[in-house]
Chains A and B, each alone.
Chain A
């Protein structure tokens, strides 16, 4: 677990293949199918993927102590490095060089956010259809950016509707199908 936490750059999801290698091939804690199932379920739950997987795999091996240990091993090294780097940064904050470094990173972060926005929009687009995802997207922007409604509240509302969405879609499709059948 220490290895997977240290060697995967770029956040949670990129850890999955490496974790699979360690858990399935190297230590044979779970089979490949089991691992796939765990990832699928972890995706349906909120929160960071990597720590959920680590907790579950650790729990499967050694019970609760295993879960705690796996999560700690997974997050401790990079967390400590983060604090250390920030300590250094704060100490030299006022040098123009460091200020330049901080400034130059802003556009890159902006681009990364833009790309992620596109990816999430694409997921919505594929799963919800073009017009519907556009409509809910516009509604969400109106609520959040226009009316300053708390994003948490918007998500809770969307989740509540989401629980019924696919059932509604199916009912509408059935009705449309019946209508066409009658007219034909």
Chain B
């Protein structure tokens, strides 16, 4: 695993992911799962689940975990640098300039055009994680958990971290003897 690839694998999703942390999730998945095969899709999903349960920014936690998996401490540092430094430097360097142009048409148009692409990628990820769930838990159980999670997060405004923690508890207590349904 070359250091340059490690850097690039995290640099690209973060530079292209307009719209903050979550926008880079599908792009990161494409890089680290599909392009470089650093982690499996299941590992990626676990990392995402844990990153959501733990406090702090998602993108840097993902970088820490995947970078460490790829090539130990050095990989971790590289992944973090690639995630944080370019955009932070850009903000410091460009704040004055950007402030003048942030409402300019080209900047707004570019930010807008990225949104449908991210949405499409998110749909792809939804499908993949859904298929994984059905494979391991069966249709009924997956659908039940999914509907309950949707209801809790969207209707009851329960924080995702608690829903994930709940799923962990259910998985630890019920799934082992219930199996797939």
Contact = CB atoms under 8 A, between A and B. Distances in A.
B175 A136 contact: no
Interface residues of B, number: 105
Task: Give the secondary structure class of B's interface.
Answer: helix
A11 B58 CA distance: 5
A10 B159 contact: yes
Contacts, number: 368
A52 B59 CA distance: 12
B113 A165 contact: yes
Interface of A is mostly: helix
A93 B55 CA distance: 23
Interface in B104-140: 105-126, 129-130, 132-133, 136-137
Chain A interface bracket (under 10, 10 to 19, 20 to 34, 35 or more): 35 or more
Given A82-B65, A104-B175, A120-B122, A155 B114 contact: yes
Interface of B: 12, 14-27, 30, 35, 42, 45-61, 64-65, 68, 76, 80, 83-84, 86-92, 94-95, 98-99, 102, 105-126, 129-130, 132-133, 136-137, 142-143, 145-146, 149-150, 153-154, 159-161, 163-164, 167-176
6 contacts: A11-B51, A79-B64, A112-B149, A151-B27, A158-B116, A162-B110
